[in-house]
Amino acid sequence: MKLSLSVRIAEGFLSKEEAIMSLPDLCDLAVEAGYEAICMRASQVGVHSSTEQIREARRVIDARKLRVGMVTGDFAIVYNNDRGPDCLRNITPYLDLAETLGAPLLRVCIRKEEDFAFAQKAADEAADRGLKLAHQCHAESLFETVDQIVESLKRIDRPNFGLIYEAANLEECRQEYGAETIRRLAPWIFNVYLQNQVPKPGGAITLNTWSHGPISFDIIQIPETGGIDFAEVFRGLREVGYDGTFTVHQSAPSDGKTTPIEAATRSAGFLKNL
């Protein structure tokens, strides 16, 4: 099992730009908790960072014998806002970032019809450099529903453009996320995001979806029961022979009782048992 820890563990759920720990501390946490890789986001290093900052980040990561599984290069992609697809119109600095960090995969964003042609062009440029692009299952994008996802990926029609499968976002958009869905999406799954939640009227978090309007939920830690059926997710992924990266994509615990290292360690143990 290739287990990766998203640097989101050093971010608050709604505060995705300010890191609460340094990259060396975060990498030490990942090693201690049993991860092989980190999933880089712009709160630590992005296309806004200097060449020297990016090289120093690579040095820090290599010194701990970690790798970078995927890069999300700017905050607009993280927030999935109207500026998110801009990366497709000038993908070169994002590819440079990924190459410097040794990452094989970049997360991108598609929200409008006109983004598809740019996605194809960006994928072609990435392919020339041996890199892959992927879009997350994500609310308020053209990757909300399973049918949309399949249609979009068929339209892009590039072998190096795939999907970050994410059960929680599919659930938010009232989509089935289990084995049947995984079978449909299997040809394109390049990464798996894992986070846990409980849909709940009046929940602590409310996000909008284009397909079903606002959805409210509570964030819970990955090993907690009552949320995402991870046993079903892993069953589906085993059935299709998925052997790629599993990324713990939880934000920093907000209960005031659990530290990031405790949360990351418990999540790693739980997932390895699956």
pLDDT in tens, 24-75: 999 999 999 999 999 999 999 999 999 999 999 999 999 999 999 999 999 9
Q: Give residue 114's pLDDT.
A: 97
Amino acid sitting at position 246: F
- Domains (range + CATH), the chain: 2-273 (3.20.20.150)
Does pLDDT of 151 surpass 80?
yes
Q: Give residue 20's pLDDT.
A: 85
Q: Give residue 263's pLDDT.
A: 92
pLDDT tens figures, 169-209: 999 999 999 999 999 999 999 999 999 999 999 999 999 99
For 256, residues 6+ apart whose C-beta sits below 8 A from its C-beta are none
Q: Give residue 14's pLDDT.
A: 63
For residue 199, what are the CA distances in angstroms to 2, 38, 47, 142, 226? 28, 28, 34, 22, 10
Quote the pTM value: 0.95
In the three-class reduction of DSSP (H, G, I as helix; E, B as strand; rest coil), residue 197 is classed as strand
Angle between helices 115-128 and 92-101 (to 10 degrees): 40
CA–CA gap between residue 131 and residue 99 (Å, rounded): 8
For residue 95, what are the CA distances in angstroms to 79, 88, 131, 132? 20, 11, 8, 9
pLDDT tens figures, 85-123: 999 999 999 999 999 999 999 999 999 999 999 999 999
CA–CA gap between residue 260 and residue 157 (Å, rounded): 39
